[in-house]
Amino acid sequence: MGNKYNFEFNPKRLSSEDIEKHQDFDALLEKFSQEKPTGQNRSARIRRIAYVGGAIAAGIAVLWFMLVVNPTERRTPPSQIAEAYFASQPFVNPPIADVQPAFVNFEINAQTGGEILYASGSKLVIPRQAFRNDRGENIRGEVDIRFRELIDYVDFFLAGVPMTYDSSGVRYHFESAGMLEIYAEQDGRPVHLAPGKRIEVVLFSEILVDDLNVKPAFNVYKLDTAARQWLYYGPDQIEFLDEISYDKDDPLAEAKENLLTRLKSINQKEDAALAELEATIPVPVKPLRPFPNDPNVTTFEFPTDIPNSQVAALYEGTVWQLSPNNAPFDENMLVEYQWNLESIEKINNQEYEIVLTKPDFTLRILAAPTLIGEDYQKALQRYEADQKAYEIALAERENKLTLQRDAINAWAAEEREAAIATYDKTMEETSFVNTSPSSVFRRKVINRFTVNSLGLWNCDRPVRPDKKEVMFPLKDQKGNVYQNMTAFVVDKTHNTIYRYYAGEDQPLPLEESSENLLWVVTEDQKLALLRAVKPDEETSEMILTLIDEVLASEADVRRVLVF
């Protein structure tokens, strides 16, 4: 067999100075300004690949649109018409005026701050002295907090939140891991967060993932309605929870069920193997640090024949000191009555729970063994020696276990990869007319971030939807034509909503790998929609279904837009 590679053994080593000779940023900048940029490569969409830096999201580039157009001489490109349409719309544009995701109201004391717990498990931690009025004065007294979460496409639709993001002249589409909108008022007047004050946010939500091993990164953005853009604030500290689900009517439900069951089994075996491994070498016992006696705190001693000899062996001349964590009780009881010592149990590094009984009464107290004078010094020296030995034993144990632990983890990772490969194969083999089955799972997450001002905050990532453009007039079953308006599209691969301009000769991008739900809002605030749209080139006309009912609530909209 011929050589595939040229092996160079012990090549000449280059020093930093050797390399620095070739370093010339000014020459690079000069070359960059002279050369045209290379084309941006669009790599084929790979179903499960982790997001790679440098990949280019599909989207509409921000264009300059013509200020003066003579329609008889120049035909405005469709993208410019769409751009002009959306530029003329309010930036936040709730499509059904009377139906909005509801805010909930809380009251908080401005001086003390506090925590607000939402039904979903989400939490806001508001610091003390957090609010100021319009004159810049600190607020005192009760403040009304209005707060809502926007989690899925129905929320995004009803709230009219924009889902595009412009960065350096490129437009990206956002996929959200959850949004939070928060305002504060006092006596009906808006108040603001004081400079330097931040509200901690814990936001429970759900994202769509197609690779269970990849942890997508999300960022935090704030909506700037004046500038009509999202402002980047930093990374989202996102935590993935164990709860994973999928749609019941998912064509791959059985395969997903099998995968999740298999993954659960692998996790259990891994846990069991690790537990068994940990048990092979007992964990060294951490020595108890002695604490010197505090003369200001009540202390007491036990008779020498206490039942727990381990305690007596650890400390000679031990004096027990009451813990500040005790519930209030009459300390005189300790000396006024005769007690039976029922038990002494160590509950943490320092404290013991001591249970004392007498007829018809049981007293539980927390106390710590303390030492005085020379006893303390001796115990401290003994402790320091024991602590060193403990740390050595711990490190030795860790060394012995690491290799085997790595092997168990590697086995489990291999098994997971095999399980996912089996699922992937099933997915590829399953064929659906005109549409590929969705590979996504729903995963519960917790987003953690801080906000430094009130308004709408979003945990997002830019996505690269795999769109195929279709062009057909939007009509409903009654012959109504829908033009010069917003068409809303969602699919099953990303937690987002797309807004396109519905008009003559306007392409409508639809997700190739999923079913799509498309709808418009009529002038009388009803919905005309098309379910399970497949981007088929041969399609020249699609008839929307006009839902001829007045939508009075979010629940109504969710029922109609179920997908």
Partner 1 sequence: MFSILEINRTLVKNNGMRTSRKTVSQEAMDAEWLEIQAAQKDPAMFRPLYNRYFDPIFRFIYRRTADEMLTADLCSQVFLKALQRLNAYTYQGVPFSAWLFRIASNEVSQHYRQYKKNRVVSVEETNFADVMDELHEPDNEQLRQALILVLNQLKESDLQLIEMRFFERLPFKEIADILGITESNAKVKTYRILERMKTQIKKVTGAGH
User: Is residue 497 a contact partner of residue 490, using CB atoms and an 8 Å limit?
Assistant: yes
Q: What minimum distance in Å lies between the beta carbon of 30 and partner 1?
A: 11
CA neighbor of 95 nearest in space, from 511, 499, 542:
499
CA neighbor of 84 nearest in space, from 59, 66, 61, 60:
66
Q: What minimum distance in Å lies between the beta carbon of 32 and partner 1?
A: 5
Which tokens go with 484? 């010069």
Q: What minimum distance in Å lies between the beta carbon of 201 and partner 1?
A: 18
User: Residue 11 or 295: which CB sits closer to partner 1?
Assistant: 11
Q: What minimum distance in Å lies between the beta carbon of 522 and partner 1?
A: 27
Lateral strand order in the sheet of 542-547: 481-482, 474-476, 542-547, 527-533, 516-521, 485-491, 498-502
User: Residue 131 or 204: which CB sits closer to partner 1?
Assistant: 204
User: Residue 59 or 95: which CB sits closer to partner 1?
Assistant: 59
User: Is residue 127 a contact partner of residue 190, using CB atoms and an 8 Å limit?
Assistant: no
517's CB contacts (< 8 A; 6+ apart) are 489, 490, 491, 529, 530, 531, 532, 533, 561, 563
Q: What minimum distance in Å lies between the beta carbon of 454 and partner 1?
A: 24
User: Residue 16 or 72: which CB sits closer to partner 1?
Assistant: 16
User: Residue 389 or 407: which CB sits closer to partner 1?
Assistant: 407
Q: What minimum distance in Å lies between the beta carbon of 350 and partner 1?
A: 28
User: Residue 217 or 471: which CB sits closer to partner 1?
Assistant: 217
3-class state of residue 538 by DSSP: coil
CA neighbor of 207 nearest in space, from 520, 493, 528:
493
Decide: residue 501, CB within 10 A, 0-12 exposed, 13-18 middle, 19+ buried. buried
Q: What minimum distance in Å lies between the beta carbon of 217 and partner 1?
A: 3
How far is it, in rounded angstroms, from Cα 460 to Cα 496? Answer: 10
How far is it, in rounded angstroms, from Cα 488 to Cα 508? Answer: 10
Strands (E), 77-121: 104-109, 114-117
User: Residue 294 or 406: which CB sits closer to partner 1?
Assistant: 406
User: Residue 468 or 558: which CB sits closer to partner 1?
Assistant: 558
Which tokens go with 77? 């490109």
Amino acid identity for residue 515 in this structure: E
Q: What minimum distance in Å lies between the beta carbon of 249 and partner 1?
A: 7
